[in-house]
Structure 1
Amino acid sequence: MELLQLQYFQVVARLEHMTDAARSLHVTQSSLSKTIQRLEEDLGVPLFDRSGRSLRLNQFGRTFLHRVERALFELEQGRQEISDLSSPESGSVELAVNTAGMLPEILRKFRGKQPHVHFHVQMSTTDEMRTLLRRGEVDFCLSSPPVRGDDIECQVMLLDSILVAVPKGHRLSDGSSIAVTELKDEWFVGLKRGYSTRDITDRICQSVGFTPKHVYEGDEPARLRSLVEADIGLAFVPESSTWGSTEGNVQYLRIEHRDFVREIGLSWHRRRYLSRTALEFREIATDYFNRLPHRQVHSTSSAIY
């Protein structure tokens, strides 16, 4: 059994398509098929159920894939550790995020201390982040909700209150807070389902007897303010997105419900080797959140979930 066979099997198992896997690996389909066949001969069992051109992992394949991914994960951690020991002044940090509002300032501080370190950021869903962490493909995930799991360590950085944005002159704009039930007849502009703020607000509103009515659903948080200013609808927005912004024609009201809050957390795989540069990034990110004037968390210590 060869390392190349395991690497090829991992890609084919993930894609369950020989042509796509060959394209991803930059090898010919015939060469890839022969490599997988030799692996199956070495194991003495088929790893896929084949029907024409389609492939599906069978029970043997699923069991073997679990072990292969663990083995390749450990080998990659060893490679990273050796690289860190041999070149301590260089390196890279891989990030996955779904909340990027505070990231520029964190990266600015990080680059100021580590100007020669490469970092790469990708936007991902929570499920994608969990997969990336377990495969060892990213160092950290900065997300709301935080990524949690038996093999994932999570540090909650911020409890970010969710406010409702209303245009000045609106019937609700006289006060500084509002009961959630007062919003049941309003129209909203907001993010699509799957974003943490949208999912939290939908769930809480439904628990008190109504579903928010949306006239606009998008994936650009920065656009919501202008839509509220134009009196298109109200918007649920994280308090952190209002820090430093000029008030303009929008007023932000607190919602009288303790669950209108989102957690922002930094997560990493418990067994992933974290380089010196990765550890410094975590230190800088933690320090950034600790210094926020509006910071609120249950605990500043990391916890394993």
Structure 2
Amino acid sequence: MNLKQLYYFLDLAETEHYTNSSERLSISQPTLSHAIALLEHELGVLLFEKQGRNIRLTKYGKIFLPYVQNALGELQKGKMTLENLIDPHSGIIELAFIYTMGASFVPEMVGQFSGREEQRQVRFNFYQGTTHNVLQKVTDESCELAICSYVPDHPEISFIPVYKEELVLITAKNHPLARFDQVDLEQTLPYPYVFFSKSSGLYPLIHDTLKALHIHPKMACIVEEDLAMAGLVSINYGIAIIPKIKALATFDVKILKITNKIPARMIYLAYLKNHYMSPAALAFKNFLTRYKKLTIH
């Protein structure tokens, strides 16, 4: 049994005439007759019987018909769903991003992309998490694109830099360091840190930076994301090195510029190498790589 046989059966059930169906299907009448005969042989029943010059469904044909209609209807729905998903002008983009990108960068990029006339019908499905989490979404193909930190042990993933953030030190407003506007990280040695967990893309950057400066901080606690870190710092649970994100303005913390020469936090667009990407996702990827915001924020 194959799809052609089912489509032929469905059309013949509608016309009840071999000649009319063969013309509608653009095939010869013997080809149609042979296909129906093979289908009947496989099912072990006659699906049609003669009625004068025409034919009609047998009892068994009438029983089989709704199943064929439902099956072919579902296949058509699936085809239409796929067509909609891969339409560059009305498809769906599965986008994962790390927590800090959800406050401004992602909404700004999505807003500008969706504001263009040719992309107004494109929809997004979003997922937030740590760099480890969002890269897992890319590798298991739940998301086509991710905005996150760079991770070196993912040779199957391409990373394109698209955004850069300044790292700052934050303290509670009543912390001894809060009287300064800038700080050398050596001044932080007496104070415990709220530190990012190893699943965060920021962990290796901050860990390696402090190690290069021969600074081995005391740990107050470990967290996964920036807002939890800012909240704990605001109650003087510790100090922290964190990207200078807009959300910090909503917390009762002091933001200090770091005077040491330390690298900025780079944000990347990540996607699977040599892998099919839907036209809508490809359009957003090209938009982001053209737009790159690599000045310090």
- Alignment TM class, shorter chain as reference: 0.5 to 0.7
Shift of 1:278: 1.2
Do structure 1's residue 104 and structure 2's residue 107 form an aligned pair? yes
Residue 220 of structure 2 is aligned with which of 198, 215, 218?
215
Amino acid at match of 2:98: N
User: Of the candidates 229, 239, 258, which is equivalent to residue 234 of structure 1?
Assistant: 239
Larger Rg: 2
TM-aligned CA deviation for residue 296 of structure 1: 3.8
Q: Give the one of 230, 233, 247 matched to 1:225.
A: 230
Give the counterpart of 2:204 among 199, 204, 223. Answer: 199
Q: Which residue of 2 aligns with 1:12?
A: none
Segments of 5+ residues of structure 1 without an aligned counterpart are 1-78, 298-305
**Residues 204-257 of structure 1: per-residue CA shift (max 9 Å, x gap):** 223433432232323342133333232222122101x1x375376422112233
Name the CA distance, whole Å, in 1 between partners of 2:87 and 2:166. Answer: 42
Contact 1:98–1:125 under 8 Å retained in 2: yes
For 1:149 and 1:193, the matched residues in 2 are separated by 16
Q: For residues 247-301 of structure 1, give each alpha carbon's deviation from its aligned partner in whole angstroms, at most 9, with x where no partner exists.
A: 76422112233334321000222322333311332244446653x8xx249xxxx
How many percent identity over aligned positions? 21
1:272 aligned residue (272, 275, 280): 275
Matches within 5 A, 1:65-214: 83=83, 87-99=87-99, 100-101=101-102, 102-113=105-116, 114-123=119-128, 126=131, 132-133=137-138, 136-145=141-150, 150-214=155-219
Q: In 2, distance between residues paired with 1:279 and 1:181?
A: 45
CA distance in 2, matches of 1:253, 1:190: 17
Q: Deviations over 1:150-175 (max 9, x none)?
A: 54332101232211102234332333
The answer on whether the counterparts of 1:147 and 1:267 sit within 8 Å (CA) in structure 2 is: no
- 1:5-53 superposed Cα distances (whole Å, 9 cap, x missing partner): xxxxxxxxxxxxxxxxxxxxxxxxxxxxxxxxxxxxxxxxxxxxxxxxx
Aligned residues: 213
Provide the residue aligned with 1:60 in structure 2.
none
Letter of the 2:278 partner, please give it.
S
Aligned to 1:30: none
Contact 1:147 1:154 in 2 (8 A): no
Go from structure 1 to structure 2 and tell me whether the alpha carbon gap of 1:95 and 1:129 turns closer, same or farther (over 3 Å shift): same
CA 1:226/1:84 → structure 2, altered by over 3 Å: closer, same or farther?
A: closer
Distance 2:168 2:145 in 1: 28
1:254 lines up with 2:268 in the alignment: no
Gapped regions of structure 2 (runs ≥ 5): 1-78
Query: Please, what TM-score do these two structures have when normalized by structure 1?
Result: 0.56
Using the TM superposition, give the Cα deviation of residue 143 of structure 1 relative to its aligned residue in structure 2, in angstroms: 0.5
CA contact (8 A) 1:201 1:260 kept: no
Contact 1:156 1:263 in 2 (8 A): yes
| Contact in 1 for aligned 2:127/2:134 (Cα 8 Å) | no
RMSD: 3.6
* Residues 230/172 of structure 1: CA separation in 2 closer, same or farther (3 Å cut): same
